[in-house]
Amino acid sequence: MRRIFLILGVIFIGFFTSCSKKDNAPDPLITVSPESLKVTADGGNSTIDVTMNGSKWVVTSDQTWCTVSVKSSNHAYIQVTVTSASNSTKNERTAKLTFVMDAKETVNITVVQEGQKELYPDYSSRIAPDASGMGSNAKVLAAKMFAGWNLGNSLESTGGETAWGNPLTTQRFIDSVKAAGINAIRIPCGWNSYIEDAGTCKLSASWLARVKEVVDYCYSNDMYVILNIHWDGGWLENNPTYDKQFTVNAKQKALWQQIAVNFRDYDEHLLFAGTNEVNSGSATPVEENFIVQMSFNQTFVDAVRSTGGKNSYRNLIIQAFNTNIDLAVAHLIVSNDTIKNRLMVEVHYYDPWDFCGLEADASWATVKNFWGAGYVKYGVSNWGQEDWVRTQFQKMKTNFVDKGYPVILGEFGATRRSALTGTTLENHLASRAYYFQYVSQQAKNYGLVPFYWDNGFTGNLGCAIFNRSDGSAFDRQALNAFIAGTTAGTYPF
């Protein structure tokens, strides 16, 4: 009996000892220090200390802009680098890092990143909305533009209005353009060279006055005017990237608010276009480029609307990436607006390029001097002919015009290869004139307002149809073809 009691006592003591060891075992634990991070808008690296008594931990981030240098570890202690990308917006944002040890013990830390601070003053000087003289919505206004023409290589010239070889624009010249049958002028315009204070992005009053003077030349002829920010040295056009998004948008906002205020009292004859040919410099742009370019469009719309007055109702033009038709269809998201039916979309058309602009044979194509079914025997490109024109313009009609957004064909044209001689030159010019007639007619048929690209250059490979010095018609054949096409075409609205 005593032996039995001894055995039971040993079992009891062993059980008690076992329970005591289990009760005294350290609890599973993972700690992260600090428990939260505050980072600047510019982003960068921060460090955290991770300690555990388990076998392994893993970490995940719920935001792609916040990443960690080590995603899992079996070390009892390790230092981890947390990397935050630049925040290109004004809004604060938050990421959560979740550490899980041995698939059950969890600890979270919060990463808070501040938004960017405003770089420039607010130039909106907002006034109450004014609808007087602004009765036409986008389709009604587009229908009023019979034929458009570009005052190219003048007000957008870096270094001054005459820096690229054209004389100062005069009232007499604009009168001549109107007399030729054109009632809409696109004014490519540069602004960066006329910022008098880089710290505030303040525009020169004298430059604003000069642009106003040229716009008034058109207004005195009852013409419609499109005013934009053109290439402008590339600060806007060549930077559709996340790292430049905030600074470019800040500058664009400051400029457009000043432009909009300066022209706020002009009626519906004046339209604003945000950019020109925003591009990445690559034949294969990526999603980042499209997203950033859409932000450029939105900044433009918001900046103009913020000034109030007639700008609350003004028709505005947003651009497709690189003003390319296929990229418009695939990627353009129409900007949000505070008023309905006051937005238009802009694309350009220089297809096929081996006919329209190629200056010398290249690996991908040889120069083509002719275009169109009637000129096949002389050698035309194997793409970009009449059926292509209709197909491309139909895409814009289906995706934008039919949805309430008329399209501005802001540029189209083909260089004049005047170095050719004899019947080759004669046939080239006839073919080129046919191109202008066909493209402008089909543009109107599909709801695109055609604007001929004229750079003022009358030499070989130039695009001028007017002599800028006196307003006379330099290329009467091209002018007549363009007017014939715009006369024959009929808008579907």
Same domain? For 109 and 150 the reply is no
277 given a catalytic annotation: yes
Give the model's pLDDT for residue 88.
Answer: 77
Domain match, 430 and 332 both: yes
For residues 224 and 102, membership in a common domain is answered with: no
DSSP-based three-state secondary structure for 171: helix
Q: Do 83 and 205 fall within a single domain? A: no
The answer to whether 94 touches 273, Cβ cutoff 8 Å, is no
Around Cβ 22, how many Cβ atoms within 10 Å? 8
One domain for residues 164 and 67:
no
Q: What is d(CA 454, CA 238) in angstroms, rounded to the nearest whole number?
A: 23
What pLDDT, on a 0 to 100 scale, did the predictor assign at position 42? 86
Judge if 100 and 145 occupy the same domain: no
For residue 411, tell me if it sits in a domain: yes
> Among 80, 113, 146, where does a domain finish?
113
84, 185: one domain:
no
- In a domain, residue 368? The reply is yes
Number of domains into which the chain is organized: 2
Rounded distance, CA 466 to CA 166, Å?
Answer: 11
> Domain range spanning residue 444?
138-488
Among 161, 237, 268, 411, the one annotated catalytic? 411
Same domain, 328 and 386: yes
Q: Is residue 80 part of a domain?
A: yes
pLDDT of residue 216: 98
Indicate the angle between helix axes 476-488 and 422-445, nearest 10 degrees. Answer: 30
CATH number of the domain that residue 388 is part of: 3.20.20.80
3-state SS class at 158: coil
Nearest partner of 33 among 20, 55, 50, judged by Cα: 50
For residue 224, count other CB atoms closer than 10 A to its CB.
22
Its sign, for the CA torsion 247, 250, 253, 254, is negative
Could you tell me the two tokens for 446?
A: 């599909």
Of the residues 156, 161, 277, 346, only one is catalytic, namely 277
Backbone torsions φ then ψ of 126, nearest 5 degrees: -60, 140
Last residue of one domain, picked from the residues 67, 96, 113? 113
- Whether residue 4 is contained in a domain is answered as no
- Choosing from 55, 78, 113, the residue where a domain stops is 113
User: In the sheet where 44-52 sits, what is the strand order?
Assistant: 30-33, 44-52, 77-84, 66-68
| Same-domain check for residues 66 and 104 | yes
Active site includes 346?
no
Please check whether residue 415 lies inside any domain of the structure.
yes
Q: Looking at the structure, do residues 194 and 309 belong to the same domain, yes or no? A: yes
Domain of 85: which CATH number? Answer: 2.60.40.10
Global pTM reads: 0.86
Same domain, 260 and 380: yes
Domain-located, residue 459: yes
| 229 falls within a domain | yes
pLDDT averaged per 10 residues in sequence order, the chain, 493 residues: 44 45 69 95 94 96 96 96 89 96 94 92 98 98 98 97 98 98 98 97 98 98 98 96 96 98 98 98 96 98 98 98 98 98 98 98 97 98 98 98 98 98 98 98 98 98 97 98 98 98
Q: C-alpha angle 81/40/287, rounded to 5°?
A: 80
Q: Could you tell me if 218 and 262 lie in one domain?
A: yes
Q: Is residue 278 included in any domain, yes or no? A: yes
How far apart CA 316 and CA 341 sit, in angstroms, is 10
In this prediction, residue 26 carries a pLDDT of: 67
What DSSP character marks residue 334? P
